[in-house]
């Protein structure tokens, strides 16, 4: 069966510090991968998606970046965090397809607090 991992589960970082969140998927090959951010009590904002190694599409201009160094690994990074980067970050995968609207399977999330 497929599983998706995210770490760390929680993170408290000072403003201006770097960030690296990792997501890995097991039990499937060539998945589409997604990074979302969720503000408290709100819906999900799509940040990045990837349909293959090294292929990253950004949805929202910001100081975050994403990389996919391996087929089932997706990393969210920042060189300098802002207060507004605080939130709940969710990684998700879906079956490899040109469609990005198929069922998505989510990781447990990372709670980021920037102070």
Binding footprint of other proteins on the chain (CB under 8 A): 6, 41-44, 46, 49, 59, 88, 90, 92, 99-101, 103-109, 111
Per-residue tokens: 95: 């079956």
Q: Is the peptide bond before 8 cis (omega within 30 degrees of 0)?
A: yes
Total residue length of the chain: 115
For residue 83, the minimal CB distance to other proteins (Å) is 21
Looking at the Cβ atoms of 69 and 98, the one nearer to other proteins is 98
Rounded-to-integer distance, Cα 92 and Cα 68, Å: 13
CB of 16 to other proteins, least distance (A): 27
Radius of gyration of the chain (CA): 13
- Per-residue tokens: 89: 């970050």
CB of 42 to other proteins, least distance (A): 6
Q: Closer to other proteins at the Cβ: 31 or 107? A: 107
What is the Cβ-side half-sphere exposure of residue 35, based on CA atoms within 13 angstroms? 27
The answer to whether 62 and 76 are in contact (CB under 8 A) is no
Shortest distance, position 17 Cβ to other proteins, whole Å: 23
77 or 111, CB closer to other proteins? Answer: 111
Whose Cβ is closer to other proteins: residue 3's or residue 17's? 3
């Amino acid at each position: 069966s497929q599983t998706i991992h995210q770490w760390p589960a929680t993170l408290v970082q000072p403003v201006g510090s770097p960030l690296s969140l990792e997501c890995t998927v097991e039990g499937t090959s060539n998945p589409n991968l997604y990074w979302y951010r969720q503000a408290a009590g709100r819906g999900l904002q799509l940040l990045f998606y990837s349909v293959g190694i090294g292929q990253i599409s950004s949805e929202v201009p910001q100081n975050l970046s994403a990389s996919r160094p391996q087929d089932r690994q997706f990393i969210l990074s920042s060189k300098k965090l802002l207060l507004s980067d605080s939130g709940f970050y969710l990684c998700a995968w879906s079956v490899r397809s040109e469609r990005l609207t198929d069922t998505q399977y989510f990781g447990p999330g990372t709670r980021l607090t920037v102070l």
